């Protein structure tokens, strides 16, 4: 089988909007907020209950109007029967485009011949988990435009059914060797989709993880180009974290002070991890050069993961050294614990590598 190599491009971020409960002003505002934060694509599903076809068509066109106004792509997950229910057919791609859809994620009910033909008129997302070499060969033989094809993984609503990381990497490695862009899902952290409300990730390990930590892992470790939030909404600060990372390459971390810590204000603000990164801690480069006065011993107790510490005067020339603990460490009379990274943000700590920027913000 001949590989079809396609020029890649920068990764993109996407979100999910589900049409089952209607579209509200809150949904539109959420779209606008995420678009400003760097999200450029929307995923929706058109697996439609029998009695809601007309309603779904109206909601789809509303969503399409919003995404077009925001210059966002719209991918619709469909089957052949679902298209028919709302009065559309792949034999008329112009009508599909008029709804605002820019890409169809096809699953059941479409032959490779139909997909190949459709690819000359519309972007098509294939089911990344089920496509195999025979499918690819058929698409080649049928003259598919591979520049219009992507591979899109599923999300898994039921706990314990998400993919294993090794399986995902293996499949994505093969997909990338063919030339596909690859998309996958990470969980949200605010509003969840029923009936299970147990998050919508591609990887099982991500089900309870921070959305940004999950997205970075997919992109850096798992050969994933495009990452979508599977659940309907993420929190406002999580949006800020995505925006800060993808626009400024800076991790935002919320911290809370240890009671009456004298050095809490000192540790707040911008930092950079040293370029010779430590195993057990994230070391703020140059922090001790900014110290004024003497750091007396205070709160020299056990340093659990997420502790933000400052070396006191007993450490001599290291006084003022500021660190975030990434592996539990024992108490040290020379090290003060000034704050704690909040639990929700600790998934991000393991991602901060040599030279990475991070910012500590007071979790008010």
Domains within the chain, CATH numbers bracketed: 12-248 (3.20.20.70), 253-362 (2.40.100.10)
- The pLDDT confidence band at residue 107, using thresholds 50, 70 and 90, is confident
Report residue 230 as tokens.
């599977």
Question: Alpha carbon 23 to chain centroid distance?
Answer: 23
Q: Hey, which bits of the chain come out as E strands?
A: 12-16, 41-45, 73-78, 103-106, 123-127, 149-152, 181-186, 226-229, 250-257, 269-272, 281-283, 307-311, 322-325, 335-341, 357-362
Report residue 193 as tokens.
């989709």
Average pLDDT over residues 227-238: 97
Whole-prediction pTM value?
Answer: 0.93
- The pLDDT confidence band at residue 5, using thresholds 50, 70 and 90, is very low
Report residue 359 as tokens.
């910012």
Weakest mean pLDDT among 73-87, 93-107, 183-197: 73-87
What pLDDT is stored for residue 20 in this prediction? 85
d(CA 38, CA 128): 25
Q: Are 295 and 287 in contact (CB under 8 A)?
A: no
- If one counts every other C-beta atom within 10 angstroms of the C-beta of residue 249, the result is 10
Average pLDDT over residues 224-234: 97
pLDDT above 90 covers a percentage of the chain that reads 85
d(CA 261, CA 338): 6
The string of pLDDT tens digits covering residues 260-294 is 999 999 999 999 999 999 999 999 998 988 888 99
Report residue 81 as tokens.
């029967």
Weakest mean pLDDT among 3-7, 69-73, 224-228, 281-285: 3-7
pLDDT above 70 covers a percentage of the chain that reads 96
The string of pLDDT tens digits covering residues 34-91 is 999 999 999 999 877 665 778 889 999 999 999 999 999 999 999 778 888 889 999 9
> Which helix (H) or strand (E) is 133 found in, with range?
helix 133-141
21 to 25, 55, 66, 194, 309: CA distances (angstroms): 13, 10, 17, 11, 47
d(CA 288, CA 312): 10
Average pLDDT, the chain: 93
The string of pLDDT tens digits covering residues 284-339 is 998 988 888 999 999 999 999 999 999 999 999 999 999 999 999 999 999 999 99
Q: Are 41 and 10 in contact (CB under 8 A)?
A: no
- The pLDDT confidence band at residue 122, using thresholds 50, 70 and 90, is very high
């Amino acid at each position: 089988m001949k590989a079809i190599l396609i020029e890649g491009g920068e990764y993109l971020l996407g979100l999910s909007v589900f049409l089952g409960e209607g579209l509200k002003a809150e949904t539109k505002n959420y779209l606008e907020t995420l678009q400003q934060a760097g999200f450029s694509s929307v995923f929706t599903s058109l697996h439609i209950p029998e009695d809601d076809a007309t309603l779904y068509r109206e909601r789809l066109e509303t969503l399409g109007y919003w995404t077009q106004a925001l210059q966002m792509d719209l991918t619709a997950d469909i089957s052949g029967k679902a298209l028919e229910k709302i009065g559309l057919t792949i034999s008329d791609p112009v009508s599909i485009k008029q709804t605002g859809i820019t890409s169809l994620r096809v699953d059941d009910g479409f032959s490779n011949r139909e997909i190949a033909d459709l690819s000359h008129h519309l972007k098509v997302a294939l089911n990344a988990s089920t496509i195999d070499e025979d499918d690819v060969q058929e698409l080649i033989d049928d003259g598919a435009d591979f520049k219009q094809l992507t591979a899109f993984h599923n999300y898994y609503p039921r706990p314990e059914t998400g993919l294993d990381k090794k399986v995902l990497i293996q499949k994505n490695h093969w997909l990338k060797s063919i030339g596909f862009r690859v998309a996958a899902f990470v969980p949200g952290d605010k509003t969840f989709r029923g009936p299970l409300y147990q998050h919508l990730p591609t990887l099982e390990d991500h089900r309870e993880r921070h959305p940004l930590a999950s997205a970075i892992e997919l992109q850096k470790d798992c050969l994933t180009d495009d990452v979508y939030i599977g659940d309907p909404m993420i929190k406002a600060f999580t949006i800020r974290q995505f925006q800060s990372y993808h626009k400024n390459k800076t991790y935002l971390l919320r911290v809370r002070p240890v009671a009456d810590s004298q050095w809490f204000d000192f540790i707040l603000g911008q930092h950079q991890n040293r370029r010779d990164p430590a195993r057990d801690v994230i070391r703020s480069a140059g922090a001790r050069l900014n110290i004024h006065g003497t750091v007396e011993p205070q709160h020299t107790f056990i340093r659990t993961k997420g502790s933000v510490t400052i070396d006191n005067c007993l450490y001599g020339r290291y006084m003022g050294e500021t660190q975030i603990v990434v592996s539990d460490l024992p108490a040290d009379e020379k090290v003060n614990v000034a704050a704690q990274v909040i639990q929700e943000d600790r998934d991000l700590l393991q991602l901060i590598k040599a030279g990475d920027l991070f910012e500590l913000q007071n979790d008010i």
